[in-house]
């Protein structure tokens, strides 16, 4: 019997399901941050601290159990930790000034930034279709900012323009962090990168909290309504960081990027049904433009998809083989690992 078409295979449906899972996780982090901002809790770094601690404990423990040697110098992970912590800080801070939907849409700015950075530093080649997609995507983002500045008949935050600019700045830092992580994963392995990001992220967050957020944490009235979104944000972030590599193994980065698009629509539904807010019509135009641009740059022919999937599968097989040899000979370093893309 002939094998089923590629789009009917089990891994495709699993990939779609996991894609919607991480999309809901991203929406959950936005919902939690928006809810904390609504309750007057302004501690962006503290929100991310628990996530870094979980990464350090889970992946750091795995690293110690396997007795793997570090393959990348620690100070490179320190730089990565600083960039990642500040990216989370700035984006979470934006919820104090603008709406949930604006943050979710403008966060897509990291994607064209990733394209530019990988083109310059990783020598990734992009065709004309990619740059057309970026242009359409940027047009959608401009519409979001325009809507926040000019619309006055909906809840939008005390300073939407400032919030929008914070999200754009944070998205640029996310792009730097993602490209750096991609390079590190290719040079090292996923467990080491996640472990070191967790360790240095937790240290940097702790220092920043002691400087910027002590007063805020002491003055906050920690009711169940404030604690639950706080913990929910960290757990959603940890699950997101842990699930993305699985999606890459099954169906590649294209399915991941397309799946994350639906997080914007989940955010709109939350805003309509949970907050009972009126959504400006320009948001839907902006989403359509952003989605169209992302589809254009993400589209690949069937031949290229097959090649990408084969490369990811081969990299994962090499990592498993190296892990087996490491278990037999303690102290041996890791081999290549699967690519990781959070954009």
Q: What is the pLDDT of residue 255?
A: 56
Q: Comparing C-alpha atoms, which of 68, 72, 21 is closest to residue 330?
A: 68
Structure tokens at 30: 């936005």
Q: How far apart are CA 82 and CA 136, in angstroms?
A: 31
Q: Is 222 among the domain residues?
A: no
pTM reported for the whole predicted model: 0.73
User: What pLDDT, on the 0 to 100 scale, is given for residue 329?
Assistant: 39
Question: Which residue in the block uniquely carries the two structure tokens 């309504």?
Answer: 225
Whether residue 39 is contained in a domain is answered as: yes
* The predicted structure's pLDDT at residue 302: 47
pLDDT of residue 258: 61
Residue 88 in any domain: the answer is: yes
Rounded CA-CA distance 178/340 in Å is 8
pLDDT of 341: 39
Q: Is residue 324 situated within a structural domain?
A: no
pLDDT (0 to 100) of residue 210: 93
In a domain, 176, yes or no: yes
Predicted local distance difference test score (pLDDT) of residue 244:
76
- Report how far residue 244's alpha carbon sits from residue 23's, in angstroms, rounded to the nearest whole number: 10
pLDDT of residue 11: 64
Residue ranges making up the domain that contains 190:
13-126+154-213+230-278
The total number of structural domains that make up the chain: 1
Return the pLDDT at 80. Answer: 93
Residue 177, in any domain of the structure: yes
Of 231, 223, 123, 113, nearest to 183 (Cα)?
123
Give the residue ranges of DSSP H helices in the chain. 10-38, 44-66, 74-94, 100-106, 110-121, 128-150, 160-187, 190-212, 214-219, 224-273, 281-298, 302-328
Q: What is the DSSP code string of 280-297? A: PHHHHHHHHHHHHHHHHH
User: Does residue 136 sit within a domain?
Assistant: no
Residue 301 falls inside a structural domain: no
* Through-space distance between the first and last CA atoms of the chain, rounded to whole angstroms: 39
- The contacts of residue 284 (CB under 8 Å, 6+ apart) are 268
Mean pLDDT in consecutive groups of 10 residues from the start of the chain, 343 residues = 54 75 88 84 89 95 89 93 93 83 75 81 78 79 68 63 90 86 80 93 95 88 88 93 74 60 72 74 77 70 48 47 44 36 38
What is the spatial distance between Cα 167 and Cα 66, in angstroms, rounded to a whole number?
38
């Amino acid at each position: 019997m002939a094998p089923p078409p590629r789009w009917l295979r089990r891994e495709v449906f699993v990939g779609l399901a996991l894609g919607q899972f991480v999309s809901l996780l991203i929406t959950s982090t936005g919902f939690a941050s928006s809810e904390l901002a609504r309750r007057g809790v302004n501690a962006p770094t503290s929100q991310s601290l628990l996530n870094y601690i979980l990464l350090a404990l889970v992946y750091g423990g795995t690293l110690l159990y396997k007795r793997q040697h570090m393959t990348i110098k620690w100070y490179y992970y320190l730089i990565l930790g600083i960039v990642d912590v500040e990216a989370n800080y700035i984006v979470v801070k934006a919820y104090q000034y603008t709406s949930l939907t604006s943050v979710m849409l403008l966060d897509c700015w990291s994607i064209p930034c990733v394209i530019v950075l990988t083109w310059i530093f990783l020598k990734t080649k992009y065709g004309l279709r990619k740059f057309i997609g970026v242009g359409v995507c940027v047009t959608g983002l401009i519409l979001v900012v325009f809507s926040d500045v000019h619309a006055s008949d909906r809840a939008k935050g005390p300073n939407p323009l400032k919030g929008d600019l914070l999200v754009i700045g944070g998205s640029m830092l996310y792009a730097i962090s993602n490209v750096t992580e991609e390079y590190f994963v290719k040079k090292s392995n996923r467990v080491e990168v996640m472990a070191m990001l967790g360790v240095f992220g937790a240290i940097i967050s702790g220092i920043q909290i002691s400087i910027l957020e002590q007063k805020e944490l002491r003055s906050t009235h920690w009711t169940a309504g404030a604690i639950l979104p706080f913990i929910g944000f960290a757990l959603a972030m940890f699950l997101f960081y842990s699930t993305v590599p699985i999606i890459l193994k099954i169906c590649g980065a294209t399915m991941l990027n397309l799946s994350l698009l639906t997080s914007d629509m989940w955010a709109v539904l939350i805003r309509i049904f949970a907050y009972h807010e009126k959504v400006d019509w320009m948001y839907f135009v902006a989403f359509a433009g952003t989605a169209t641009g992302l589809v254009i740059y993400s589209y690949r022919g069937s031949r290229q998809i097959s090649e990408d999937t084969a490369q990811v599968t081969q990299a994962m097989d090499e990592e498993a083989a190296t892990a087996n040899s490491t278990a037999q000979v303690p102290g041996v370093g890791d081999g290549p690992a699967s690519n990781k893309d959070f954009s």
